[in-house]
Amino acid sequence: MSEIYSLLEELIESDDEFLEEQSLKVTRYIKELEVGIITEGLCRSYIQDVRDLMQINNIRGEIKNKALAQKIIEELTKLLIKGVASAIKGVL
C-alpha cells in the first residue's frame, strides 16, 4: 500500500494533467473510504474505473510517464485483488 502512495505522489507531481487528475482521484477515494464516506464496494468500483482509464491511455503510442503509469496500473490491480479495505487496514 505504501508503494501505491509513493507512486501516486510521483504522478501527482508529474507534468501530465491526465495522470495527475487520476492519481488525485484514487487518493480521494481511499481517504473517503477511510473516514466512511463511501463503502468498500464503491471505492473498489471507482478505483477500477481509474485503472481502466490509465490502461486506455497507456495503450496510446507516445505518451509521457508511460512506465510510471504502467507501474501504478499494476499496483492498482494488486490492490483490487487483495481488497481495498484490507490493504488500507494493513497500513493503518
- Applying CB under 8 A, the residues found at the interface with other proteins are 41-42, 45-46, 48-50, 52-53, 55-57, 59-61
Nearer to other proteins, 53 or 88 (CB): 53
Nearer to other proteins, 16 or 49 (CB): 49
Q: How far is the CB of 13 from other proteins (least distance, A)?
A: 21
Neighbours of 58 (CB within 10 A): 16
Burial tier of 18 (Cβ tally within 10 Å: 0-12, 13-18, 19+): middle
Nearer to other proteins, 35 or 56 (CB): 56
**CB-side exposure of 65: number of CA atoms within 13 Å?**
22
